[in-house]
Amino acid sequence: MLAGQRLREARKNANLTQVELANMLGIKAAEISQYESDKRTPRWPVFRKMLDILDITADEVLGREITVHDDEEYKVRLSKEDLKILSSIKDNPKLYKILLKDPERNIHLINTNLKKLIPEIDS
């Protein structure tokens, strides 16, 4: 997902139109459209104010990964999208338990079966 798409998603989650957000920022709605289509990058003062209005971080907009530390030796880097996928899996207890038993084998089985349903999936 591109930064512009993340901005659009955050604006919609805030229940704001491009015009409303532009008015709050003191800019034209066309600029918001350009930011959301990745045709233009906001100046720092506008970007900072936009982050505050939309209640998001620059890392979220940029799609930066989050590092999860389990202990000193174990680190996993996850993006916001990765966390959404994991949350969705945990919301399905049966699937979660099955995957937990033998993750590598079960992911392989899912991938193999998806290839049969959706041939364009590349492993």
> Is residue 69's pLDDT more than 60?
no
Q: What pLDDT was estimated at residue 91?
A: 87
* CA trace torsion 93, 95, 101, 107 (10° rounding): -150
Q: Tell me the backbone φ, ψ of residue 57, rounded to 5 degrees.
A: -105, 160
> Average model confidence (pLDDT) for the chain?
85
| Average pLDDT of the segment spanning 67-83 | 66
Q: What pLDDT was estimated at residue 111?
A: 84
Can you give the residue range of the structural domain that contains 50?
3-62
- Total domains in the chain come to 2
Q: What pLDDT was estimated at residue 59?
A: 83
H-helix or E-strand spanning residue 101:
helix 93-101
Closest CA to 8 of 66, 65, 61: 61
Q: Is residue 70 situated within a structural domain?
A: no
H-helix or E-strand spanning residue 29:
helix 29-36
**Which of 43, 62, 81 is at the close of a domain?**
62
Same domain assignment for residues 57 and 16: yes
User: What is the amino acid identity at position 11?
Assistant: R
Q: What pLDDT was estimated at residue 37?
A: 94
Query: Which of the four pLDDT bands, split at 50, 70 and 90, describes residue 73?
Result: low
Closest CA to 35 of 71, 8, 75: 8
**Which of 62, 78, 100 is at the close of a domain?**
62
For residue 3, give every residue at least 6 positions away whose Cβ sits within 8 Å of its Cβ, in sequence order, or none.
38, 61, 62, 63
Q: What pLDDT was estimated at residue 31?
A: 96
> Is residue 90's pLDDT more than 60?
yes
Contact yes or no for 38/19 (Cβ under 8 A): no
Closest CA to 21 of 51, 63, 62, 57: 51
Query: Which of the four pLDDT bands, split at 50, 70 and 90, describes residue 1?
Result: low
> Is residue 3's pLDDT more than 70?
yes
Instruction: Tell whether pTM > 0.75.
Output: no
- Residue 91 DSSP one-character state: T
